[in-house]
Amino acid sequence: MTQQAPTSHSDTRSISEIRKATFDDAELLLNWRNDEVTRMQAFTQDIIKPDDHRQWLERTLGDPKKVLQIILNEQSEPIGQVRFDISGTVAEITIALGPEYRNRGYGTLALIESSTRFMEHHPEVRRIRARIKETNEVSIKVFKRAGYGDERRDKEVVSLFFAGRKKD
């Protein structure tokens, strides 16, 4: 099932696929991770070196508690990544889109699709948590629009939770 874009964006935008990342995605993932805006919104902001990135990717792909996925748009272009880190009954989500694909509605669609699908495939997980810097207004807005709620604040970090989407 694909998600259609919300009202204020073009009707033609959609997520065609969310697939597991592979080692072939290393360069793409590193470019997204080292993008300046993404670094500023992350909790660690250093520029990652290619060798460190490859080691990290190898560990991540081999870890059953980490789910790293590539988001493809309606033209099957890879537009960003979403990652779930499972810890007991909670999974922590992070998302980053390539700069040229931001602010077009894809982030909302990607969160709805990936979060819903993740919960279906991981019944042991009760809630997904997003930890967002309180200054990252775009991200807070987009997570809320995708169905995340139960907001909590701790210092400069906003936590939002997703427990599955209500059936229509």
Ligand X SMILES: CC(C)(COP(=O)(O)OP(=O)(O)OC[C@H]1O[C@@H](n2cnc3c(N)ncnc32)[C@H](O)[C@@H]1OP(=O)(O)O)[C@@H](O)C(=O)NCCC(=O)NCCS
Contacting positions for ligand X (CB under 6 A): 8, 37-38, 41, 95-97, 102-108, 130, 132, 136-139, 141-142
Nearer to ligand X, 37 or 90 (CB): 37
The pair of structure tokens assigned to 6 is: 């919300």
Residue type, 165: R
Give the nearest distance from C-beta 9 to ligand X in angstroms.
6
Nearer to ligand X, 105 or 147 (CB): 105
Give the nearest distance from C-beta 6 to ligand X in angstroms.
6
Pairing between strand 15-20 and 66-73?
Answer: antiparallel
Nearer to ligand X, 58 or 141 (CB): 141
Nearer to ligand X, 55 or 103 (CB): 103
**Cβ–Cβ < 8 Å for 134, 149:** no
Task: Round to whole Å and give the CA distance between 155 and 10.
Answer: 37
Task: Round to whole Å and give the CA distance between 91 and 81.
Answer: 16
The contacts of residue 103 (CB under 8 Å, 6+ apart) are: 138
Give the nearest distance from C-beta 57 to ligand X in angstroms.
18
Which residue's beta carbon is nearest to the bound ligand X? 107
